Amino acid sequence: MADIAQTAPQSGPAHRRRPLPLRLVLSGTWLLVVLICAVFAPFIAPHDPLAQDLLLERLPPFWMAGSEPGYYLGTDGLGRDVLSRIIYGARIALTVAFVAATAACVIGSALGLIAGYYRGFVDQIVSRIVDIWMSFPPVLFAILLVAVIGTGLHSVILAIIVIDWIRFCRVVRAETFVQVKLDYVDSARVAGFSRLTILIREVFPNTLPTIVALLSLEMGIAVIVEAILSFVNLSISTDDPTWGGMIAEGRTIIYFAWWVLVFPLIALFLTVLAFGQFGEGLKDRFDPVLQ
């Protein structure tokens, strides 16, 4: 029966590498720059981010008249170097982004998978909790939480986890619903696998593209929440440089020294944008179903 024999596709498993999409390259590059800044801050930053020098206060950025060499992005109202503070601020922003988003992701995704896969009673409980959670205004909830458990990096991270796990839970639950209806789940069942094995080995990998995209997005959101909490002075101590804190300080002197507010704002904006784009780009590029 050679006439019905078939060959594997030309491309084969080691399929040709498509060029990386531009948004993945751009967002990845920016995140890498921020990461390097965060890790090597003491070596990169031109000045001590906490060193005050009242003789050098409100220096403009380097291209404007009156700027001092070495203070590229100017200084704030206490004479601290804005560039150095932005570089050090990346540390806190990224710490919060990674730790809080990852923890929220693990908790939310696990509950979402279980609720979406086992349905019934478990799903009822998880979904009702999510409903209740969603009816709180999230930022207000965070502020309330930090006010109760005290300020500090730990509190900020905890607040973000407590607020944002539902984001993962809802999306992953919905995605699991869709996956469970597909025939490969039945095939695995027919092949004799237990429900737990099927959930972990068959269903979970299929939800990963969604989870990864959401994780990246969530890191951006975590950066924003941290900035908001810093802005209302509920993050870590005001001395430590955070982007939100710098924006808050800059707001009071925006008419004399706009750069104190604008540069951290740009860093914040680009980072949040990059996280979102990076996640979407990853999903586009590596989701085998979309290929």
Partner 1 sequence: MMADAFLDIADLSIVLRSDRAHRLLRSVDLHVNPGEVRGLVGESGAGKSMIGKTIFDILPRAVEAVEGAVTLGGTDLLALSSNARRREIAAAAALIPQDPLTALNPVRRIEGQITDRLTAILGFSKKAARDRALTLLEEVHINDPERVLRSYPHQLSGGMRQRVLIAAAFAAEPKLIVADEPTTALDVTVQKQILRLIAEMQAHHGTALLFVTHDLGVVAKICQNVTVLFGGKVVEDTDVKGLFAHPAHPYTAALINATPRYDRPDQSLLPVPADVIEATRAEIAKADAEWLSQRGQTLKAAS
Q: Name 231's Cβ contacts closer than 8 Å, sequence gap at least 6.
A: 244, 245, 247, 248
What is the C-alpha separation between 212 and 202, in angstroms, rounded?
A: 17
Under the criterion CB under 8 A, does residue 131 sit at the interface with partner 1?
no
Under the criterion CB under 8 A, does residue 16 sit at the interface with partner 1?
no
Under the criterion CB under 8 A, does residue 8 sit at the interface with partner 1?
yes
Compare residues 2 and 54 and give the one whose CB is closer to partner 1.
Answer: 2
What is the C-alpha separation between 13 and 10, in angstroms, rounded?
A: 9
Least CB distance to partner 1 at residue 211 (A): 12
Compare residues 6 and 135 and give the one whose CB is closer to partner 1.
Answer: 6
Under the criterion CB under 8 A, does residue 140 sit at the interface with partner 1?
no
Among 125, 132, 182, 266, binds partner 1 (CB under 8 A): 182
- The candidate with the shortest Cα–Cα distance to 49, out of 78, 88, 95, 94, is 88
Among 35, 132, 147, 184, binds partner 1 (CB under 8 A): 184
Asked if 260 and 74 count as a contact pair (C-beta separation under 8 A), the reply is: yes
Q: How would DSSP label each residue in 134-177? A: HTS-HHHHHHHHHHHH-SSHHHHHHHHHHHHHHHHHHHHHHHHH
Under the criterion CB under 8 A, does residue 119 sit at the interface with partner 1?
yes
Q: Which secondary-structure segment (H or E) carries 79?
A: none
Q: How many residues bind partner 1 (CB under 8 A)?
A: 33
- The candidate with the shortest Cα–Cα distance to 94, out of 30, 14, 189, is 30
Compare residues 5 and 65 and give the one whose CB is closer to partner 1.
Answer: 5
Under the criterion CB under 8 A, does residue 212 sit at the interface with partner 1?
no
Q: Candidates 4-12, 29-37, 101-109, 238-246 — which segment interacts with partner 1 by CB under 8 A?
A: 4-12
Compare residues 11 and 135 and give the one whose CB is closer to partner 1.
Answer: 11
Least CB distance to partner 1 at residue 121 (A): 13
- Mark 25-64 with x for binding to partner 1 (rule: CB under 8 A) and - for no binding: ----------------------------------------
What is the C-alpha separation between 260 and 82, in angstroms, rounded?
A: 7
Length, in residues, of the chain: 291
What is the C-alpha separation between 144 and 155, in angstroms, rounded?
A: 11
Which one-letter amino acid corresponds to residue 113? L
Q: Candidates 59-67, 146-154, 180-188, 226-234 — which segment interacts with partner 1 by CB under 8 A?
A: 180-188
Least CB distance to partner 1 at residue 96 (A): 31
How far from chain centre, in Å, is Cα 30? Answer: 13
Least CB distance to partner 1 at residue 8 (A): 4
What is the C-alpha separation between 77 and 80, in angstroms, rounded?
A: 7
Among 78, 193, 200, 285, binds partner 1 (CB under 8 A): 193
Burial 229-252 (b: 16+ CB within 10 A, else e): bbbeebbbeeebbbbbbbbbbbee
| Binding residues vs partner 1 (CB under 8 A) | 1-2, 4-9, 11-13, 15, 119, 182-184, 186-194, 197, 202, 205-206, 208, 288-289, 291
